A and B are shown apart, each in its own frame.
Chain A
Amino acid sequence: MSAPASPRILVCMPAWHEERSIAAIVLALRDKLPYDILVVNDGSLDDTSGTARRAGAIVLDLPCNLGIGGAVQTAFLYAREEGYDIVVRIDADGQHEIADIPAVLAPILEGRADAVIGSRFLGETEYRGTFMRRFGIRYFCTLVRTFTGYRVTDPTSGFFAINRKLIEFYSQHYPSDYPEVDAYILMHHLKARATEVPARMYARAEGKSSITSLGAVYYMVKVTLSFIINCLRRFG
């Protein structure tokens, strides 16, 4: 094999009450990609954990429900301890296209990026959101661009890959709820090279979105506050 050993890659999924969709995704991942699969069971009361384990995933069981950010951060902690070089994060509900993972990994593998975000708005898209959702996304794009300079099209995307540098940092500093937009603050702080690639996104196979309409308002207020406060903050 050539000089550097091939990087160790972990595909992780935070899962909360996803027993009906998780097995199919884990099996499809095992079938198509040679990477380790980690499911972080965020305190589900159903058989998410057992189903994922039987399908062949590594499963971390959180003793209580931490929310999406806390669950994803657990995956980063695991990746850091186990020495993975790249973590890919996808949803456990079947919204993301597994076949897009190599495209999301490519810029990191080629050393062109520290973080790659799969965007449902780049390239051809069949995605249609509600007016409110599209407005929110446009608002976040402006916020991210103003405060960090990253030109993004899909700031709330939960489909991304990060390299070792970001794994280390996120395992200490990842936001607890609605972490995706906030993450640009962290990347900006690290002067990380972030890039987007087109990624398909489907309507949910099972379960329902974690974002409700009241949640959306909270999401926007919270993220705005995070961006403003970040201007006054130094990370320890």
Chain B
Amino acid sequence: MNRVTIIAALAAMALVGYILEMVRRRKLREEYSILWLSGGLVMLVLVLRRDWLEIASQAVGIFYPPSFLFLVAIFFILLILIHFSITVSRLYQMNKRIAQEIALLKNRAASNHAPTPE
């Protein structure tokens, strides 16, 4: 194994390990760890199995196999970002509903305690 392979493998393992640790400490929900973990594992496998990397890059017509690694990494990063956009949209929707509900409840609470209007 050459030096770059070892460094790349260690980096991928560090990523997977860090994500697992964050999930264990409940700082990251399982739901959000799945894309990170699968990305990290796919990278790890392709780094360690140079022959598989070559087969895969040939299959899609890439002549320089390591650039296939970049493609895979960018693909996962894109998926994760889209996932975040969807999550932010959902949170926005929920947040809006909660704010509206608070406004309605505050009004109801105030009118329950208010003295009878003149």
Contact = CB atoms under 8 A, between A and B. Distances in A.
Contacts of B107: 58-61, 78
A66 B93 CA distance: 11
A60 B103 CA distance: 5
Interface string A69-83: 010011001100100
A156 to B, nearest CB: 22
Interface residues of B, number: 9
Nearest to B107: A60
A171 B104 CA distance: 13
A176 B96 contact: yes
Chain A contact surface mostly: mixed
Interface string A44-82: 000000000000001111111010001001100110010
Contacts, number: 35
B99 interface: yes
Contacts of B96: 66, 70, 176
A70 B99 contact: yes
Nearest to A176: B96
Interface string B94-118: 0010011011101100000000000
A73 B99 contact: no
B99 A77 contact: no
Given A70-B99, A176-B96, A61 B106 contact: yes
A182 to B, nearest CB: 15
A74 B104 contact: yes
Contacts of B104: 60, 74, 77-78, 81
A40 interface: yes
Chain B contact surface mostly: helix
Interface string B69-105: 0000000000000000000000010001001101110
Contacts of B102: 62-63
Contacts of B106: 60-61
Contacts of A64: 99
Contacts of A78: 104, 107
Nearest to A43: B99
A73 B93 CA distance: 12
A61 B100 contact: no
Contacts of A66: 96, 99-100
A66 B94 CA distance: 12
A176 B102 CA distance: 17
A158 to B, nearest CB: 19
B91 to A, nearest CB: 13
Q: Which of A64, A70, A74, A78 has the most CB of B within 10 A?
A: A74
For the complex of A and B, the 4 pairs showing the least CB-CB separation, nearest first, are: A60-B103, A74-B100, A62-B103, A70-B96
7 contacts: A40-B103, A59-B107, A60-B106, A60-B107, A73-B100, A74-B104, A176-B96
Interface of A: 40, 58-64, 66, 70, 73-74, 77-78, 81, 176
Given A61-B106, A62-B103, A66-B99, 13 more contacts: A40-B103, A58-B107, A63-B99, A63-B102, A63-B103, A64-B99, A66-B96, A70-B96, A70-B100, A74-B103, A74-B104, A78-B107, A176-B96
